Amino acid sequence: MKVSKCDPRLAKYLIEQYGGADGELAAALRYLNQRYTIPDKVIGLLTDIGTEEFAHLEMIATMVYKLTKDATVEQMEAAGLGGHLVDHGFDLYYHNAAGNPFTVACLTAKGDPIANLYEDIAAEEKARATYQWLIDITDDADIQDGLRFLREREVIHALRFREAVEMLKGYQEEKKVF
């Protein structure tokens, strides 16, 4: 990940995608948990995307790390990261942009493939919206490049999940022929 501007303030916002409700950690945990009981036809999709989300988590982590690792205490405080510094120093932590710690209460597993996949589609669209706000809030061209890539992955994942819904709907026709 290339970060071209010393801007610890942006780290405070990027952390939303690290430990926020629609962030990459929530996505990875959601998919890699649902994968066990989803019909076997779409287990592979959830496994692949769930694993990919962990890679995206590393990208966000790297951005946050680079933005804060050489910041002074004064810079951290000016960036609104004074509370983070007191609690975590320069460590990263799984919380959202408002400082609320990550909670699995933000993700669901309903035991119903259609309900679960719609949750997944909604999560991807919400993450896409978050990336759009993040692109809007920074003028770092390199960060924007990374965020645009991550936003596009949300677009593709949402499509893949909608395809998965269609596959589960289509099961009927195949099974009808005995």
Partner 1 sequence: MDPQWHAYTPYSSALDPCPPRPKAYIVPPNQYVIFQPHGLRQFAPREALKRGTLWPELYSPYEHGDRGGGRR
Residues that bind partner 1 (CB under 8 A): 39-41, 43, 112-114, 165, 168-169, 171-172, 175-176
Shortest distance in whole angstroms from residue 21 CB to partner 1: 26
Q: Which is nearer to partner 1, 32 or 43 (CB)?
A: 43
Shortest distance in whole angstroms from residue 47 CB to partner 1: 13
- Which one, of 92, 100, 98, lies nearest residue 68 by Cα? 92
C-alpha–C-alpha distance, residues 117 and 163, integer Å: 10
Place of tokens 């989300």: 53
Shortest distance in whole angstroms from residue 129 CB to partner 1: 23
Contact assessment for residue 35 and residue 47, using Cβ atoms and an 8 Å cutoff? yes
Q: Which is nearer to partner 1, 96 or 116 (CB)?
A: 116
C-alpha–C-alpha distance, residues 81 and 8, integer Å: 8
Shortest distance in whole angstroms from residue 116 CB to partner 1: 10
Q: Which is nearer to partner 1, 44 or 82 (CB)?
A: 44
Q: Which is nearer to partner 1, 148 or 169 (CB)?
A: 169
Helix, strand, or coil here: 95?
strand
Task: Report which DSSP code applies to 98.
Answer: T
Shortest distance in whole angstroms from residue 40 CB to partner 1: 5
Q: Which helix (H) or strand (E) holds 48?
A: helix 43-68
Q: Which is nearer to partner 1, 72 or 175 (CB)?
A: 175
Structural Rg of the chain based on CA atoms: 18
